[in-house]
Copies of this chain bind each other. A is one copy, B any other.
Amino acid sequence: MSKIMSAADAAALIGDGDHVAVQSMGTQGIPMLMVRELIRQQRRDLTVTSVVAGIGIDWLSFKGVMSRFCGPIVSMERFGLCQGFRRGVQAGAINFEEYSETGILARLAAGARNLPFQITRGMIGTDIPALHPDTIRELADPFTGEIVLALRALRPDVCILHAHRGDERGNIQYGGGTIWPDVQIYPKACGRTIVTVEELITEDQTRANPQETVIPHFAVDAVVHAPSGCHPTSFFPGYVYDEAFHEEWVRVSRDPEQAIATIDRYCAADTQQQYLELIGEAALAATRNWRKLA
């Protein structure tokens, strides 16, 4: 039975109130097709976990899809703070459950391995542990008595990832660049796994390059075809982030009305193809020009 499905069908695997881990590295690798689909389907009250959240979280914030963010940072890097998220937190509409990077990764690693907790030396001395008495505890090393921090296992309901290739069984391949932690840890820690891919391939093509497979089919529930699926963020080596798009977003996102109108305009696209047409070939071509940035 093929796991290839539409973004709409994949989004149906996510319910109101779910905890959703979303791949994100600032201006890189955000599965925006699924972000838009969650907005289109008017999901509510999601908790989102990302390693470095970016524009996707800002859109979910403006549209009231997300009520809690659980992770280390929300930032569009050179494009600055996410204004919708910032406003949401400042207004009390969004709760930011803040951890350091080793903190959130330890929680996910424990979830991935069905261990009750993992430890870190990160955050000791900071004000972060005191925020989370239910998920961070001091723990004495049973051998030396030294104090470390125990991070409670986190098992989000579902995760959304983006990768280079996927086949109908659900095998997912990565084709270059570094492997972000999202890809390695979310499918194990999360209850369901949705992966948008640049390219659909056959199982035979998967078998021709087994060393590029990074998620086994048995850990994948949905494969969604999404060429340029991270636009306006980058996905190495295919395309860089859309600089003009981000700059325009920085401008409009100062005003919630303009921000929401912008989001709605892009979310009106029923398919990835329609979305790419909205963006236009000139803008897409610019994102394929690494030299501009390198």
A residues engaging B (CB < 8 A)?
A: 114-121, 134-135, 137-139, 141-144, 146, 148, 150, 152, 176-177, 211
Contact = CB atoms under 8 A, between A and B. Distances in A.
Kindly report how many copies of this chain are found in the complex they form together.
2
A146 B119 CA distance: 16
A9 B186 CA distance: 44
**Chain A interface helix/strand/loop/mixed:** loop
B211 A148 contact: no
A211 B176 contact: yes
Contacts of A116: 119, 141, 143-144, 146, 148
Interface centre among A118, A143, A144 (most CB of B within 10 A): A143
Interface centre among A144, A176, A211 (most CB of B within 10 A): A211
A176 to B, nearest CB: 6
Nearest to A143: B152
Interface centre among A117, A118, A148, A152 (most CB of B within 10 A): A117
Nearest to A114: B121
